Amino acid sequence: MSSFDSYQTPLSTRYASKEMMEIFSARTRHSTWRQLWIWLAEAEKELGLNISDEAIDQMRRHAVVSDEAFEVAKNYEAKFRHDVMAHVHAFGEDAPAAAGSIHLGATSCYVTDNADLIFLQRALDLILPKIAKVIQNLRDFAIKYKDMPVLGFTHYQPAQLITVGKRAAQWIQELMMDLEDIETVRERLQFRGAQGTTGSQATFLELFEGNADKIVELNRILCQKAGFPSAYPISTQTYTRKVDLRVANAVCALGATAERICGDIRHLANLKEMEEPFEKSQIGSSAMAYKRNPMRCERITALARKLRGLPANFANTFSAQWFERTLDDSAIRRMDIPEMFLLADSILLTLDNVTNGLVLYPSVIRSRIDQELPFMATESILMKLASHGVSRQDAHEEIRVLSHEASAVVKQQGGRNDLLERVKKAEFFKPVWNDLDSLVDPKLFIGNCPKIVEDYCNGEVAEKLERYKEALAGAATAQLSI
């Protein structure tokens, strides 16, 4: 059957990276199972169990599942209705000297759960530098435009001026929170190890003839081989699904951040102040040829909406586990864990593209400022008049009347804000006529924005990015070679 005749997830066919898809591929999954069986046999031999060198050598030679082995496992699974035992038998055919040693003392979750923890670890390691790359893009952008005035919005209504860089710094801060949360769950991730069918380690205690110290050493060796600092001290048949929820809460929060950032960019695109990159031959609309739709940000928003909703699934799966385990976690985790990381990966790839090529339109930004700034400057005009001995109350009334007249022109006639022209024509304001232009310089209204941006981006953000310096240098090289 052609791939065009069966469903394929768009995450793998359109959006996610090859590296992330490989982590959750069937070959990686089942080859990791084989590697776990090899590590178990090596550790058990080291601790005195009778496992031959030839058995381990054969296992090592067939650590990667071949296409033929997949077919063998498929036939065994049809017979046994058990995927782990199907692969035990298939591995035994590839490594006959090890057939009696594979999976010795283990339960199915030894391979399934430990493999999942390995995949969580690898996937977290893959997305962390990608978040750092987006932060670096925005840091460069924020510093470049740290002092470019732009109209701020509260309630999506015109508010005090900020700068383009200050707005980008807000996005950076939210991504920094995601980065730190994901770093934390990555650092606290532990291994399941060899714990037995209910977490009692009874089978291994029997194998080692009652020597509990050897079980401790077995798990120390397994953790070392797998690259984990330690194993969770308490296990049931599985590692607690609280781990999945903990990871999901951190990773899926990235979806909310991405949607929030792209929402801002989409609104700014409508205002014609900022746009995502737009290719020379890109088509915005099949009907309206003039359009430059923010399709990348819209894609991110769609994927982010899916990602940020996934923690509910992980919470439901965790809370529904009874006693030492139930199998109603299996099917949903096969979908949700890979999907979570494929979504995060897809979002970050596109967000990297967007933030690496943001387009500004300074003239539009300035014209929007000019529509609102005269109103904001009225307090400065009042203060300047007061310095000339003019009654503040009288000045307030005069400026109030002119402001309402100018506002009517804007709102009722669709005209531009002509408040300053009105002030320049009113004799009452003659004492400050020569000062008006200097009183409405936008940079007088951006407060401490440039310093805020510099202090944050060159301080906390730069310090965090230093941790990813090598990965970011590699990302830049890869980008140049495309």
Catalytic positions:
155, 285
Which one, of 372, 307, 312, 373, lies nearest residue 341 by Cα?
A: 307
* DSSP tag of 160: E
The span from the CA of 166 to the CA of 187, in Å, is: 31
163 phi-psi bin (left φ>0, alpha ψ -120 to 50, beta other): beta
Residue 353 CB-density burial (10 A; 0-12 exposed, 13-18 middle, 19+ buried): middle
Residue pair 314/336 in contact (Cβ under 8 Å)? The answer is: yes
Backbone angles phi, psi at 287, to 5 degrees: -105, -40
Residue 364 CB-density burial (10 A; 0-12 exposed, 13-18 middle, 19+ buried): middle
Supply 256's token pair.
């909310």
Alpha helices in 145-163 (DSSP H): none
**Helix/strand/coil (H/E/C) assignment for every residue in 259-321:** HHHHHHHHHHHHCCCEECCCCCCCCCCCCCCCCCCCHHHHHHHHHHHHHHHCHHHHHHHHHCC
The span from the CA of 164 to the CA of 358, in Å, is: 11
H or E element in which residue 37 lies? helix 26-46
Residue pair 413/401 in contact (Cβ under 8 Å)? The answer is: no
Each residue of 192-201: b (16+ CB within 10 Å) or e?
Answer: bbbbbbebeb
Which one, of 193, 187, 173, 134, lies nearest residue 358 by Cα?
A: 134
H or E element in which residue 187 lies? helix 164-187
Residue 30 CB-density burial (10 A; 0-12 exposed, 13-18 middle, 19+ buried): buried
